[in-house]
């Protein structure tokens, strides 16, 4: 178990604090859970982990390719928005559209964000948001992380997983020998639910065409669903997380690995949950043919 803790960099939290992470008593897997700080000098911090050559190309999290306005108008709207909410069904068939080039992916993602998500008022969550949180990362990422929805910090910054749980997600990614800019990170809803409650079913149904469009554009090989709402949505299952996580699932030709949400991990800071998450992440590395970082094997 120690190896798993080291790989997640979580023991750095323990060593740099005097006790367990402090957390709020909430059933929601929100991003504002508190945890101790990481010591820069702690040898178990994973920032010096070797980085896999995971990216299909190098790209910063924020799109850097300028968008031709004329081309934007040629980008079709997600067809799922033409479907009434009550008739919404999660597609299960494999993608048939061709895989886009890097530039096409950047253009499609940027256009989706700028022309549809940022001004979206399709559900009640727009009334209380500060910013929409579209998602970010490498448009050619082989791994996509999907969480539940933005928390307070994410709402203020307009970026996914930048609060305390996001810091732990960063360490999980580093423990895999990767950088945040290697992967793509997003949520099932793009606006923060008030008081970090779970998104309501109608909010999920209304917002997830954006997510489905992101997935179709990025076309990751593996999706790691973080926590129960994201997992149950992608798998269309009512089973509990302890029945779903740690096992491979297949959706639209993409391998799905459910694992615990970092906020849940912070609230249930046990060797068992830390070991479970690391076990799930190792399975992803092995599925993609990537070596498990040496540190985790020490
Ligand atoms: Fe639009 Fe999604 Fe925000 Fe609702 S949560 S207002 S559907 S972007």
State the average pLDDT over residues 4-33: 37
What is the percent of the chain with per-residue pLDDT over 70, rounded to a whole number? 69
Atom 4 of ligand 1: nearest residue by CA position: 123
Is residue 228 very low, low, confident or very high in pLDDT (cuts 50, 70, 90)?
very high
Nearest in space to 169 (alpha carbons), one of 226, 217, 246, 116: 226
pLDDT score for 76 = 46
Look up residue 51 and give its two tokens.
């980085």
Is residue 67 very low, low, confident or very high in pLDDT (cuts 50, 70, 90)?
very low
pLDDT score for 54 = 53
- Cα 142 to ligand 1 centre (Å): 26
pLDDT score for 175 = 96
State the average pLDDT over residues 250-264: 97
Q: Is the pLDDT of residue 166 over 60?
A: yes
For 68-109, write each residue's pLDDT tens digit: 434 444 544 444 444 445 556 899 999 999 999 999 999 999
pLDDT score for 32 = 30
* For the ranges 27-36, 70-79, 216-225, 234-243, the one whose mean pLDDT is highest: 216-225
Which residues does 6 contact at the CB level (< 8 Å), separation at least 6? 44, 46, 175, 295, 296, 298
pLDDT score for 259 = 98
pLDDT score for 19 = 34
Residue 276: HSE in the Cβ half-sphere, 13 Å Cα cutoff: 23
State the average pLDDT over residues 268-295: 93
pLDDT score for 89 = 80
- Top-confidence residue, 241 or 37: 241
pLDDT score for 136 = 98
With a 6 Å cutoff on the Cβ, whether 189 touches ligand 1 is yes
pLDDT score for 53 = 44
Q: What's the CATH superfamily of 2-24+63-91+100-297?
A: Uracil-DNA glycosylase-like domain (3.40.470.10)
- Cα 122 to ligand 1 centre (Å): 6
- Cα 13 to ligand 1 centre (Å): 35
If you ran DSSP here, which 8-state letter would residue 65 be given? S
Atom 2 of ligand 1: nearest residue by CA position: 207
Atom number, ligand 1, closest to the C-alpha of residue 149: 5
Atom number, ligand 1, closest to the C-alpha of residue 203: 4
Domain map of the chain by residue range?
2-24+63-91+100-297
State the average pLDDT over residues 258-281: 96
Atom 1 of ligand 1: nearest residue by CA position: 120
- Cα 125 to ligand 1 centre (Å): 6
With a 6 Å cutoff on the Cβ, whether 204 touches ligand 1 is no
Nearest in space to 194 (alpha carbons), one of 128, 291, 273: 128
pTM of the model: 0.78
The alpha helices in 158-270, defined as continuous H runs, are 164-175, 201-218, 228-235, 241-244, 262-267
CB 207 within 8 A of CB 123: yes
State the average pLDDT over residues 162-169: 96
Atom 7 of ligand 1: nearest residue by CA position: 207
Average pLDDT, the chain: 79
Is residue 295 very low, low, confident or very high in pLDDT (cuts 50, 70, 90)?
low
Atom 3 of ligand 1: nearest residue by CA position: 191
pLDDT score for 117 = 98
Give SS3 for 127. helix
With a 6 Å cutoff on the Cβ, whether 190 touches ligand 1 is yes
Nearest in space to 212 (alpha carbons), one of 69, 120, 77, 65: 77
* For the ranges 29-38, 70-79, 105-114, the one whose mean pLDDT is highest: 105-114
pLDDT score for 88 = 65
First to last CA, the chain: 11
Indicate the top mutation candidate among 124, 133, 186, 203 to test ligand 1's pocket, ranked by most ligand atoms within 8 A of CB.
Answer: 203
CB 126 within 8 A of CB 271: no
State the average pLDDT over residues 9-28: 35
pLDDT score for 100 = 97
State the average pLDDT over residues 192-217: 96
């Amino acid at each position: 178990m120690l190896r798993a803790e080291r790989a997640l960099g979580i023991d750095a939290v323990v060593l740099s604090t005097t006790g367990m992470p402090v957390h709020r008593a909430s059933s929601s897997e929100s991003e504002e859970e508190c945890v101790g700080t990481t010591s820069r000098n702690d040898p178990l911090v994973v920032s010096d982990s070797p980085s896999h050559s995971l990216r299909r190309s190098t790209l910063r999290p924020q799109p850097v390719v300028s968008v031709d306005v004329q081309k934007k108008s040629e980008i079709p709207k997600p067809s799922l928005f033409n479907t009434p909410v009550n008739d919404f069904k999660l597609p299960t068939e494999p993608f048939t559209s061709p895989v886009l080039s890097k530039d096409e992916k950047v253009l499609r993602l940027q256009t989706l964000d700028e022309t549809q998500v940022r001004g979206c008022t399709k559900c009640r969550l727009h009334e209380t948001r500060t910013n929409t949180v579209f998602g970010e990362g490498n448009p050619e990422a082989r791994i996509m992380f999907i969480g539940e929805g933005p928390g307070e910090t994410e709402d203020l910054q307009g970026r996914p997983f930048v609060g305390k749980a996001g810091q732990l997600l960063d360490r999980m990614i580093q423990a895999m020998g990767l950088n945040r800019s290697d992967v793509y990170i997003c949520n099932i809803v793009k606006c923060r639910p008030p008081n970090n409650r779970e998104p309501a079913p109608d909010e999920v149904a209304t917002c997830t065409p954006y997510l489905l469009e992101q997935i179709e554009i990025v076309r990751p090989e593996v999706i790691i669903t973080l926590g129960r709402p994201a997992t149950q949505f992608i798998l269309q299952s009512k089973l509990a997380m302890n029945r779903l996580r740690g096992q491979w699932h297949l959706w639209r030709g993409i391998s799905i690995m459910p694992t615990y949400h970092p906020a849940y991990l912070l609230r249930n800071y046990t060797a068992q949950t830390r070991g479970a998450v690391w076990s799930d992440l190792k399975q992803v590395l092995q599925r993609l043919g990537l070596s498990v970082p040496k540190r985790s094997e020490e």
